[in-house]
Chains A and B, each alone.
Chain A
Amino acid sequence: MSDENIIARIRQGDESKLMAIYRAYRNDFIFWAMRHFSCNEEIAKDVFQVAITIFYENIMSGKLSKLSSSVKTYLFAIGKNKLHENQVARERDLKIQQFEQDKIKDGFQLENLEGETSEEKEGMYKMLEKALIELGEPCRTVLEMYYYQDLSIEELATKMDYKSTDSAKTQKYKCLTRLKKIFQESVLGIKNI
């Protein structure tokens, strides 16, 4: 199967093709990443999973429909960027650590430079995950298809067997409104404690 066919199949929702790509190039990627970015196997594997996910998202959003290179080259290019970011972050962490130690020596404590935003966000997403479980099916799938897989209302109607795009649209809004309610209640619940 050609690379372009594979992309079309993934766009149509065939995730098994994506998993096959993961299996096919994982060893090569880890080998290459460890050699060129002197990272460990664990980081290389994580980065490859992120690269596959970005590849998937770009296909689904329509950003990637035609490849100017092979799938493998494309994946390795994403991976390269991510590995580079990771390297920069690691070096920065080392510097911060060093800085922190100097400060501690001087009797200071370094304040958290990042603030709490990323942690707060993480907490929000955890709450949202819980809210999605409470929301249940088919709403959870409808929302995932629309907001993560970037399916259009027409595609959503076909996939979920809705009679018309209008009823798919109504269903989507119903689901979103219910999720909003559940999520808001759990956020308020936490604030009231």
Chain B
Amino acid sequence: MENTELIERYFEGKLSPHERKEFETRVAQETSFSEEVALQRTIREGLRAVGRGRMLSKLEEVESNMSAYHPPTQVIRFDERTRQRFYWAAAAAIVLLIPVYLLLKANVSHDALFARYFTPYENTATQSANQDPLNHALQLYRAKNYAQALGILETLEDKGNASDSALFYKANVHMQLEQPAEAITTLKQISSTSTFYDEAQWYLALAYFQNKETNKAKEIVTSITQTPAHPYHQQAQELYKELK
């Protein structure tokens, strides 16, 4: 048996008791053999470390193709006692509100859902001195100066210069300004190959809610719940439960 194989079999515990004894005697007596064993051990450990390094760089590559981290929509959680108290209060409130509900029932909408789930898209673009119009618009967006931001984004669109990110932010501005129909038209222009597509779908669902087109909204939410890799999968699931 060649040394390489012998040493491998030793590491893998495949030597017979007799062979192992012989092996250990050689390690103790032959410097060159014990060096070879040490070298092979380093290589075995090293191969694991190199493999791990390659896996981590694959993940980093996936990471670099993802949109920047943004916190998930805030969901308020109660502890158990608060929750019970909350339920009692809610029950009482419902009883009290029944007459009001009967009066208003003609106008139940999903506005509340929209308000709960909509958070303006976090704009994480780094501050840069670059004063192109999109950058300027994003600064205004960040400063919540929506009307002015919209002006710039619309000019871009009119000139046919609107990138997917410009369209995406423009839709967000429309939602902020309670113009869901415009938001819907804008979001629909974002193609399915865009890096903003997943985000656009989620916001499209919210825009439909805002526009009281509940069925269309539900359709999108349902399809997101069926895509575990979707960035808004969890939010969609929570929303879906509420819709039932």
Contacts and interface: CB of A to CB of B under 8 A. Distances in A.
A193 interface: no
Contacts, number: 101
Interface stretch (A78-86, A100-108, A124-132, A155-163): A124-132
Contacts of A149: 51
Interface stretch (B42-50, B154-162, B166-174, B201-209): B42-50
Contacts of A184: 39
Interface stretch (A88-96, A109-117, A173-181): A173-181
B213 interface: no
Given A125-B46, A143-B47, A49 B52 contact: no
B55 interface: yes
A4 to B, nearest CB: 14
Contacts of B40: 176, 180
A176 B11 CA distance: 14
Interface string B1-31: 0101100100000000000000000000000
Contact of A26 (B2, B4, B46, B63): B63
Contact of B60 (A1, A49, A56, A129): A49
Contact of B234 (A28, A125, A128, A129): A28
A179 B43 contact: yes
B62 A22 contact: yes
Nearest to B230: A24
Contacts of A132: 50
A190 B106 CA distance: 83
Given A20-B229, A49-B63, A148 B69 contact: no
A22 B55 CA distance: 12
A62 to B, nearest CB: 15
B57 to A, nearest CB: 9
- Which 10 pairs from chain A and chain B are nearest by CB? A148-B51, A147-B47, A128-B46, A20-B229, A49-B59, A177-B4, A24-B229, A125-B49, A19-B62, A53-B55
Interface of A: 1, 15, 19-24, 26-28, 30-31, 41, 45, 49-50, 52-53, 56-57, 121, 124-125, 128-129, 132, 143-144, 147-149, 173, 176-177, 179-180, 183-184, 187
